[in-house]
Chain A
């Protein structure tokens, strides 16, 4: 096995500051960073080929580089811990077992962009993780890693945990910022991007939990070392993968970025399909990623290779579906989720997601019509790329891919009026 950064520490003992200091060289990266210039830190992160772990895969160093040096308003570091993409549960483990990694990562980000205020926006359902984070933050304050004049460097940084109220849309970075500010959780028009006008109008960097927990490793071992962990160009480090669905061993796994195919991951990490059945489908990057059929899984599991075959790695949440599961039922459940989570401000998403769900629901109830499938494809097409934020695409992508790739299943379901009763 190649080197892993996190997985060996995913246990209760790893949580306290003492463990972090002893076993994980805790806060040594911060010390190093405080002795470096902001530009040097950003250069190191750029070298690391670290790409955002939240879903979009945007190069982190570049994102930090967008933050203006001078600003009349305070700058902010915001951690997106709203982990809500169905199938994703890696950030939860990071916060549960290695909270100090996140705190240290945010401190370094703050120093790099010239910010002294950080927020962790955590999804409302993560009550336990919010408590653990607050406990870790308290430890860090007591030890002098947070607060005023950190480690005698003159650098100040305050960190607050803000709990969401259970809306998926608040994982969209501008929706998150609105919610953080106490507004309705709706995405904003971009531009301006958060780097220019984010939280409370100030320049803001919004990074995923795993993105930030990578930072201490990069500072300690160098950007080049991190880049080389990845097996592909332009994608450094390791990836935490959430495997769920019909596998024998679901859970969080860590692999070197780009080091395994989907098939290898399912067989070697997931332990194969539950009940040794055949594979029907894989949703490779959280429920918004277009679905893959059983014969499309010999693809390297990383950002670029998946993009090339028309899907995405997203938050690296792999949902595995075995042969006897009903795809109509599955896409209905996925579409219902996006319909329910649409914020409702822009037309195609508000109207289209519900329409798609209505049609799929009608098919599921045994009242489908032949023309429904083309209608679904057309509605999805009218949503895709035409909405204010990416939620529309997240809803349309699965519908399009399911209907196109499993059209025969849908047609059979519609013709028979009802199918696979066992799944209801």
Chain B
């Protein structure tokens, strides 16, 4: 491999790699704002300018490919002077409202200011200000915080395939906005906030919820479709506040769709059944204790002439395996089938749902559940007099017959209205497990929060079933 020298360290590189990436490999941070590895290079912020021996001017590291024998200085006096100067330029018109800004604590502008800027400013002129703009349901724009890096414009054009963010006016008055101030249309709008290096584009869903430094992060996988985008769950005090994409070049690169990003809200929904429930006298669900609910479930299922077990393809492989050994032993004769998305019965029906990430299967483990041998649900067979539904929070319930219905897992009250019994289980963020995406990749769900209310893991529920001596 060819080699260059950065700040005295020898660095190997693959031809074409830019200096920012090469420096990263040997542990040297070259600061930048407009550069993003998933977007085109524009060299606009000028923050990454470094000194390259035998070249007269500073060179922007983002747009300079490493070459054999190149000698680079990222912290020489002239490079540091430029870093200080760019920080000063970027901050003269910035409101410095970090105390009330949601980006604070995870802001590139703030971090680089501490690392590379001066703590005082020489600016005494009037600051430039803009009017705010409503950009639709996902993003709130605060243009005064913007540093014109144009990442959002490039994300729209190059990744989301939509030309909706633009720069209007010119020079010092340049404004980054949507065309004609229209609301954002893309299904990937949350990424605008992720890639914004300042607090200019923030998620409406997350604003003023938690300061970044209070959030505990868990690496997991999105359960929104069969791609299984890698993401982080950010929670505090057992409440999930947001999900952010995690880089995986093979699966989702740097991105996450809005559906997946905001999917977590059902975890904390007031509509979720989080206590064992049985059908009451007035035909509605009434909350009860685990013992009574287990007894009711057994009563409904054990004596059934023909039982169908619907297993959601939103469950993990481990949960599916458990059911595959539990049901023949304790509910023998039952027919076991899987369900998940209307119109996507098997992996043969699964396909790309758009040009970027989304898949047609709205459950994450369709491919895993088929590998484990379960057959797809094709409709209730004649004579069925009881149905057991086991699912996470994502598999879409098919139309169910008016027979005895028992649910195990995550249900909303309205969904379980006709159920005889609901045994509350765990959602994707409340359990560990393995899922298989459409590429055949095994990925791990990781538990980020404890199960809501009295919900229990499937293994625990089945164990209680086995140990419960019916009265």
Instruction: Give chain A residues whose Cβ lies under 8 Å from the Cβ of B174.
Output: 343-345, 350
Which one of A133-141, A266-274, A334-342 is at the interface? Answer: A334-342
Residue of A whose beta carbon sits closest to that of B33: A347
Q: Are B167 and A344 in contact (CB under 8 A)?
A: yes
Instruction: Give chain B residues whose Cβ lies under 8 Å from the Cβ of A184.
Output: 167
Instruction: Give chain B residues whose Cβ lies under 8 Å from the Cβ of A353.
Output: 171-172
Instruction: Give chain A residues whose Cβ lies under 8 Å from the Cβ of B209.
Output: none
A388 is an interface residue with CB less than 8 A from chain B: yes
Instruction: Give chain B residues whose Cβ lies under 8 Å from the Cβ of A341.
Output: 170-171
Chain A min CB distance to B152 (Å) = 14
Which one of B40-48, B297-305, B312-320, B460-468 is at the interface? Answer: B40-48
Contact with B along A348-363 (1 / 0, CB 8 A): 1011111100110010
Chain B min CB distance to A113 (Å) = 26
A62 is an interface residue with CB less than 8 A from chain B: no
CA A395 to CA B340, docked complex, whole Å:
63
Q: Are A343 and B170 in contact (CB under 8 A)?
A: yes
Q: Are B46 and A167 in contact (CB under 8 A)?
A: no
Provided the pairs A339-B172, A350-B172 are in contact, do residues A359 and B85 lie with their beta carbons within 8 angstroms? no
Contact with A along B130-153 (1 / 0, CB 8 A): 000000000000000001101000
CA A359 to CA B49, docked complex, whole Å:
26
**A350 partner, pick from B58, B60, B122, B148, beta carbons under 8 A:** B148
A294 is an interface residue with CB less than 8 A from chain B: no
B347 is an interface residue with CB less than 8 A from chain A: no
Q: Are A344 and B171 in contact (CB under 8 A)?
A: yes
Which one of B88-96, B270-278, B328-336, B450-458 is at the interface? Answer: B88-96
Chain B min CB distance to A350 (Å) = 6
Provided the pairs A189-B41, A342-B172, A343-B171 are in contact, do residues A348 and B93 lie with their beta carbons within 8 angstroms? no
CA A189 to CA B41, docked complex, whole Å:
8
B253 is an interface residue with CB less than 8 A from chain A: no
Provided the pairs A189-B42, A342-B172 are in contact, do residues A386 and B85 lie with their beta carbons within 8 angstroms? yes
B292 is an interface residue with CB less than 8 A from chain A: no
Q: Which among B47, B85, B92, B123 has the greatest number of chain A C-beta atoms within 10 A? A: B85
Contact with B along A376-387 (1 / 0, CB 8 A): 000000100111
Residue of A whose beta carbon sits closest to that of B125: A358
Q: Which among A358, A359, A386 has the greatest number of chain B C-beta atoms within 10 A? A: A386
Q: Are A348 and B92 in contact (CB under 8 A)?
A: no
CA A167 to CA B174, docked complex, whole Å:
14
Residue of B whose beta carbon sits closest to that of A372: B124
B173 is an interface residue with CB less than 8 A from chain A: yes
CA A362 to CA B173, docked complex, whole Å:
19
Contact with A along B60-81 (1 / 0, CB 8 A): 1001000000000000000001
Interface hits, A62-103 → B, CB 8 Å: none
Instruction: Give chain B residues whose Cβ lies under 8 Å from the Cβ of A385.
Output: 57-58
Instruction: Give chain A residues whose Cβ lies under 8 Å from the Cβ of B169.
Output: 344
Provided the pairs A348-B89, A385-B57 are in contact, do residues A339 and B171 lie with their beta carbons within 8 angstroms? yes
CA A149 to CA B227, docked complex, whole Å:
57
Instruction: Give chain B residues whose Cβ lies under 8 Å from the Cβ of A345.
Output: 42, 44, 148, 150, 167, 174
Q: Are A167 and B125 in contact (CB under 8 A)?
A: no
CA A167 to CA B49, docked complex, whole Å:
27
Provided the pairs A382-B85, A386-B58 are in contact, do residues A351 and B172 lie with their beta carbons within 8 angstroms? yes
Chain A min CB distance to B417 (Å) = 55
Instruction: Give chain B residues whose Cβ lies under 8 Å from the Cβ of A362.
Output: 125
A346 is an interface residue with CB less than 8 A from chain B: yes
Q: Are A344 and B123 in contact (CB under 8 A)?
A: no
CA A375 to CA B125, docked complex, whole Å:
13
CA A351 to CA B43, docked complex, whole Å:
16
User: Can you list 19 A-B pairs, Cβ within 8 angstroms, ordered by A?
Assistant: A167-B170, A341-B170, A342-B171, A344-B167, A344-B170, A344-B172, A344-B174, A345-B148, A345-B150, A346-B46, A347-B46, A347-B90, A351-B90, A353-B171, A354-B171, A382-B81, A382-B89, A386-B82, A388-B44
Sorted nearest first, the 5 A-B pairs with minimum C-beta distance are A344-B174, A382-B85, A342-B171, A351-B89, A354-B172
